Structure 1
Amino acid sequence: MRKVTSKKLTATLISSIGLIGISGIAMATFKANDNMAIAQNTAQITAQKTLLNFPKYQITVNSNQDGEIQPDRELTLREAIAIANGTLTLEQLSEAERNQVKPQLIARLEGSRIGFNLPSDRTTIKLRKALPDISSPYLTIDGTTQAGYDANSSFAQELAIPQPIVEITPDDGVEIFRGLTIVADDVTIRGLSIYGFNAIESVPTTTPSADIFISHQAPPPDTTQQQQPAKFSPFYDSNRPPQGVRLEANWLGITPTGKMPKQPSSFGVYLFNSTDTLIRRNRIAYHEGSGIVTSVKATGTQILENAITSNGFDGMPHGIYLEGEIANLRIKGNILCANDGSGVYLFKPKGAIAIEDNRILFNDRSTNYAAIYLMGNDHRVTNNQISNQRGAGVAIAAYPKSDRNLIRKNTFSALKGLSIDLISQRHVNTRDFITGDGINRLRDSHFRRVDTANGAINAPTFLAATFPMFTADKVNIDGNADPDTEIDLYRVTGKIDPNLPYGSLSEYLTTVKTDANGKFSASLSNLEVGDTISAIATDPQYGTSEPAFNARIVNPDLSAPELAKVDATIPACTTPPQVVQAPPPPEVIVLSVPRQIHFALDRDAISPTSAKILDRIADVLKQYPTIMITLAGHTDPRASDTYNRELGFRRSRAVRNYLMRQGIASERMTVRSLGETQRASQGNQVTDYARDRRVEIEFTDVRDVEIRFESQQEDLQLE
Structure 2
Amino acid sequence: MSRKIAKLIDPKPQIIIKAILNFAAISAKNFPKPIVNPVNLLLLALTGWFIPNLATFSQTSTNPPLRLTVNSNQDIIQTDGNLTLREAISIVNGELTLESLSAAERNNISPLTSGEDNRAKIEFSLPPNNTIIELNSLLPALAVPVVIDGTTQPGYAQEDNNINPVPVPIPDNIPAAPIRGLSLLKQGETNFCAPQIRPTPTPIIPAPVPTPVPAPIRGLGFLKQLVSQGSTISNFPIPQPVVIIKPTPGVEVFRGFTVASDNVRIRGLSIHGFSSRRRGATANIPPADIFIGDAKDTATLGEKGRARNPSNNPPKNILIDCNWLGVDRLGNPISQLPNANFSGEKQVPTGHKKPGHFQIYRTDDRLPTRSAFGVYVFNSLGTTIRNNLIANHDGSGIITSARANNTLITENILFANGFGGMPDAIRLEGNIDRTRILSNLIRDNAGSGIYFFKSQGSTEIKQNQITNNGRQFEQAAIYLMGSDHQIVNNQISEQPGPGIVVAAYPNSDRNVILGNSFANLQGLSIDLVSQNNTGFHAFLTGDGPNPKMRSLQRRRQAGNFGIDAPVFVSSEFFLNPENGSVTLEGTTKPGATVEIYRVNENSSPRGPLSEAIANTVADEEGKFSLTLTNLKAGERISAIANDSESGTSEPAVNTVIKDLP
**Fold agreement, TM-score > 0.5:** yes
Change (3 A) 1:127 1:55: farther
Name the aligned partner's letter for residue 115 of structure 1. Answer: E
Give the aligned partner of residue 4 of structure 2. none
Q: 1:490 aligns with which of 575, 597, 600?
A: 597
Change (3 A) 1:410 1:171: same
Deviation digits for residues 86-126 of structure 1 (CA, Å, limit 9, x no counterpart): 11121111111111111113356511111111111111101
Change (3 A) 1:277 1:220: closer
Bigger mean CA deviation after superposition, 150-159 or 77-86:
150-159
Give the aligned partner of residue 95 of structure 1. 103
Structure 2 runs not aligned, ≥5 long: 1-58, 168-231, 301-306, 335-366
Please tell me whether residue 77 in structure 1 is matched to residue 85 in structure 2. Answer: yes
Give the aligned partner of residue 266 of structure 1. 372
Please tell me whether residue 210 in structure 1 is matched to residue 288 in structure 2. Answer: yes
Q: Is the 8 A contact 1:54 1:136 kept in 2?
A: no
For residues 173 and 271 of structure 1, the distance between their equivalents in structure 2, rounded to whole angstroms, comes to 27
Give the aligned partner of residue 314 of structure 1. 420
For residues 537 and 400 of structure 2, the distance between their equivalents in structure 1, rounded to whole angstroms, comes to 23
Please tell me whether residue 480 in structure 1 is matched to residue 557 in structure 2. Answer: no
Q: Is the 8 A contact 2:62 2:120 kept in 1?
A: no
Aligned residue for 1:91, secondary structure, equals helix
Please tell me whether residue 142 in structure 1 is matched to residue 142 in structure 2. Answer: no
**Shift of residue 432 of structure 1?**
1.6
Q: Is the 8 A contact 1:55 1:84 kept in 2?
A: no
For residues 158 and 429 of structure 2, the distance between their equivalents in structure 1, rounded to whole angstroms, comes to 34
Aligned residue for 2:373, secondary structure, equals coil
**Shift of residue 56 of structure 1?**
1.3
Change (3 A) 1:242 1:415: same
**Shift of residue 54 of structure 1?**
6.1
For residues 158 and 373 of structure 2, the distance between their equivalents in structure 1, rounded to whole angstroms, comes to 26
Deviation digits for residues 607-652 of structure 1 (CA, Å, limit 9, x no counterpart): xxxxxxxxxxxxxxxxxxxxxxxxxxxxxxxxxxxxxxxxxxxxxx
For residues 312 and 476 of structure 1, the distance between their equivalents in structure 2, rounded to whole angstroms, comes to 47
Q: Is the 8 A contact 2:166 2:238 kept in 1?
A: yes
Q: Is the 8 A contact 2:60 2:94 kept in 1?
A: no
For residues 143 and 568 of structure 2, the distance between their equivalents in structure 1, rounded to whole angstroms, comes to 60
**Shift of residue 200 of structure 1?**
2.1
Name the aligned partner's letter for residue 136 of structure 2. Answer: R
Deviation digits for residues 513-567 of structure 1 (CA, Å, limit 9, x no counterpart): 111111111100111111111000000100000000111111101xxxxxxxxxx
Structure 1 runs not aligned, ≥5 long: 1-49, 224-232, 558-719
Give the aligned partner of residue 57 of structure 1. 66
Q: Is the 8 A contact 1:54 1:85 kept in 2?
A: no
Deviation digits for residues 298-340 of structure 1 (CA, Å, limit 9, x no counterpart): 0000000000111111111000000111100000000111111
Give the aligned partner of residue 413 of structure 1. 519
Give the aligned partner of residue 324 of structure 2. 251
Q: 1:165 aligns with which of 242, 256, 261?
A: 242
For residues 273 and 600 of structure 2, the distance between their equivalents in structure 1, rounded to whole angstroms, comes to 42
Name the aligned partner's letter for residue 502 of structure 1. Answer: R
Q: 1:543 aligns with which of 625, 628, 647?
A: 647
Give the aligned partner of residue 122 of structure 2. 114
Q: 1:154 aligns with which of 134, 140, 165?
A: 165
Aligned residue for 1:349, secondary structure, equals coil
Give the aligned partner of residue 602 of structure 1. none
What's the C-alpha RMSD, in Å, of the aligned pairs?
2.0
Name the aligned partner's letter for residue 209 of structure 1. Answer: P
**Shift of residue 443 of structure 1?**
1.1
Name the aligned partner's letter for residue 66 of structure 1. Answer: D
Name the aligned partner's letter for residue 62 of structure 1. Answer: N
Q: Is the 8 A contact 1:51 1:111 kept in 2?
A: no
Change (3 A) 1:473 1:401: same
Give the aligned partner of residue 622 of structure 2. 518
Q: Is the 8 A contact 2:60 2:93 kept in 1?
A: no
For residues 277 and 109 of structure 1, the distance between their equivalents in structure 2, rounded to whole angstroms, comes to 18
For residues 547 and 508 of structure 2, the distance between their equivalents in structure 1, rounded to whole angstroms, comes to 18
Change (3 A) 1:299 1:151: farther
Q: Matched residue pairs, number?
A: 493
Deviation digits for residues 414-464 of structure 1 (CA, Å, limit 9, x no counterpart): 111000000011123311221111011111212111111001101011111
For residues 481 and 541 of structure 1, the distance between their equivalents in structure 2, rounded to whole angstroms, comes to 14
**Shift of residue 202 of structure 1?**
4.1
Q: Is the 8 A contact 1:217 1:239 kept in 2?
A: no
Alignment of 1:19-58 (within 5 A): 52=61, 56-58=65-67
Q: 2:483 aligns with which of 367, 377, 386?
A: 377
Aligned residue for 2:277, secondary structure, equals coil
Name the aligned partner's letter for residue 268 of structure 2. Answer: G
Q: 1:187 aligns with which of 257, 261, 264?
A: 264
**Shift of residue 218 of structure 1?**
2.3
**Shift of residue 65 of structure 1?**
1.1
Aligned residue for 1:508, secondary structure, equals strand
For residues 630 and 266 of structure 2, the distance between their equivalents in structure 1, rounded to whole angstroms, comes to 48
Give the aligned partner of residue 37 of structure 2. none
Aligned residue for 1:189, secondary structure, equals strand
**Shift of residue 63 of structure 1?**
0.8
**Shift of residue 75 of structure 1?**
0.9
Give the aligned partner of residue 630 of structure 1. none
Change (3 A) 1:481 1:202: closer
Q: Is the 8 A contact 1:168 1:193 kept in 2?
A: yes
Q: Is the 8 A contact 2:431 2:457 kept in 1?
A: yes
**Shift of residue 220 of structure 1?**
11
Q: Is the 8 A contact 1:422 1:545 kept in 2?
A: yes
Q: 2:457 aligns with which of 351, 356, 374?
A: 351
Name the aligned partner's letter for residue 389 of structure 2. Answer: R
**Shift of residue 128 of structure 1?**
0.9
Aligned residue for 1:58, secondary structure, equals strand
Please tell me whether residue 198 in structure 1 is matched to residue 275 in structure 2. Answer: yes
Name the aligned partner's letter for residue 63 of structure 1. Answer: S
Change (3 A) 1:528 1:220: closer
Name the aligned partner's letter for residue 276 of structure 2. Answer: A
Q: Is the 8 A contact 2:616 2:625 kept in 1?
A: yes
Q: Is the 8 A contact 1:291 1:320 kept in 2?
A: yes
Change (3 A) 1:219 1:393: closer
Alignment of 1:284-323 (within 5 A): 284-323=390-429
Larger gyration radius, structure 1 or structure 2: 2
Give the aligned partner of residue 505 of structure 2. 399
Q: 1:441 aligns with which of 524, 547, 554?
A: 547
For residues 141 and 321 of structure 1, the distance between their equivalents in structure 2, rounded to whole angstroms, comes to 26
Deviation digits for residues 229-269 of structure 1 (CA, Å, limit 9, x no counterpart): xxxx9547x74000000001000011112331521000000
Scaled by the length of structure 1, what TM-score is found? 0.67
Alignment of 1:618-633 (within 5 A): none
For residues 436 and 310 of structure 1, the distance between their equivalents in structure 2, rounded to whole angstroms, comes to 23
Q: Is the 8 A contact 2:285 2:298 kept in 1?
A: no
